[in-house]
Amino acid sequence: MDYITNILFAVLLFIGIGYFSKNVKKLSRNIKLGHDVDVSDNKSQRWKNMAMIALGQSKMVHRPIAGILHVIVYIGFIIINIEVLEIIIDGLFGTHRIGLSVLPVSVYGFLIGAFEVLAVLVLVSVIVFWIRRNILKIKRFWNKEMTSWPKNDANYILYFEVVLMSLFLIMNASDIHFQSMNSGNVISQFIAPWFSGFSESALHSMERTAWWFHIIGILIFLNYLYFSKHLHILLAFPNTFYGSVKPQGQFDNLEAVTKEVKMMMDPNVDPFAAPADNAEMPAKFGASDVQDLNWVQLLNAYTCTECGRCTSQCPANQTGKKLSPRKIMMDTRDRLEEVGKNIDANKGTFVDDGKQLLDNYITREELWACTSCNACVEACPVSINPLSIILDMRRYLVMEQSAAPTELNNMMTNIENNGAPWPYNQMDRLNWKNE
């Protein structure tokens, strides 16, 4: 019977990890749909950013209440799940608390005791998060882009964490052998009396049931991540590493534009000559769909935590404009997922579906509402850059469609004719001194 249980566990583990691996491959494929970008510079700064921002949660604590609670959940959930290694070994080899066989009782008790304390802290933090989101209804959680799925997704993960932490404590409390050690049961010793009327066999069944549901819950949680905003649990690390290390406000010089200008200024090139049959097609200026963005921007989209800090700091959004940097990232991810499903349905090839990121997901009104102030970039706790996507899409509108707003077209015409944004002749620009 034990062998059957071990085989069942192995099959369950294989299916869970296999499905997760399949989704990771799909995720990697989708991100690689973006064009390449060189992010090999400043490696020491990049490692520092990853250590401070992703691992150290340095930007989360800018808002102390939410930040400290998030750090508790983050540390607690990660450390507690070290115990998953013991569960996997026990499940595969039919052992029970293998840690006791390799560690002194005092060390094992200290570890499990720390896990129990962290489990309670996680439970308290999650309850506070739920109250903030559903009872206090903090504004940034209820913006119009937070439709039924984003709202429900946030709550689902809170429920997951409550169940997993509770199962961990119940598993320990109903384990007669563990309780008799009187080491490490710093929390579960107060739960164990709840089951004092149960027989030994009933307690064993309860412990086994909690054990099975705990590992099944973890595997479900692992595979749920791909469909959830909580994918940032995994992607925050590469995202902060590959995030921009340039000064905020420094724009990239488009290689395609530089190439075009050099060709125009080359005296050996006839601007009126027809292009050769084998001539390389000029690159598209800017972006109108997700394939026009670079892979770091697509990684940004998948990493978005939907926390709304960017939108809450956006001056355009605060003044009633339609722009929401969070929506920019959510729309980019949704369109990327749609493109990925199109590729899957057509055996690895994208078939034009008549849609694009511009207009079908992100409106021109949203793009032109942006003030380029970088407030959203500064506010993001995981180094996401919504502004880079906005600027690339605005470049497309200006350089490919000549669809800039009238005010911007007037300014560019004035710069071309007068050398300044104002509609004054160059000879008259200093007349204000005489007034």
233-255 tens-digit pLDDT: 999 999 999 998 988 878 777 77
What is 255-404's CATH number?
Answer: 1.10.1060
Beta-bridge partner residues of 358? 362
Give the other-Cβ count within 10 Å of 323's Cβ.
24
Is residue 316 a contact partner of residue 359, using CB atoms and an 8 Å limit? no
- Local structure of 362: helix, strand or coil: strand
Considering the chain, tell me which residue range(s) the CATH 1.10.1060 domain(s) occupy: 255-404
pLDDT band, residue 269 (cuts 50/70/90): low
Q: Where in the chain is the domain with CATH 1.20.950?
A: 2-31+63-242
Is the predicted pLDDT of residue 108 greater than 70, yes or no?
yes
Q: How many CB atoms lie within 10 A of CB 160?
A: 19
13, burial (CB in 10 Å: exposed 0-12, middle 13-18, buried 19+): middle
Is the pLDDT at 266 greater than 80, yes or no? Answer: no
**Helix, strand and coil in the chain, % to nearest 5:** 70, 0, 30
Task: Please tell me the predicted confidence (pLDDT) of residue 121.
Answer: 94
On whether the CB atoms of residues 141 and 308 are closer than 8 A, the answer is yes
User: What is the reported pLDDT for 261?
Assistant: 77
Average pLDDT, integer, range 345-353? 92
Condensed to tens digits (0 to 9), the pLDDT of residues 271-304 reads 666 565 555 665 688 899 999 999 999 999 999 9
Mean pLDDT over each residue of the chain, to the nearest integer: 89
Check: CATH 1.10.10 for 2-31+63-242? Answer: no
CA 376 – CA 318 distance, rounded (Å): 12
User: Residue 41 is inside which H or E element, if any?
Assistant: none
Residue 290 one-letter amino acid: V
* Range from 85-89, 323-327, 416-420, 431-435 that averages highest in pLDDT: 323-327
Model pTM above 0.95: no
Higher-confidence residue: 281 or 63? 63
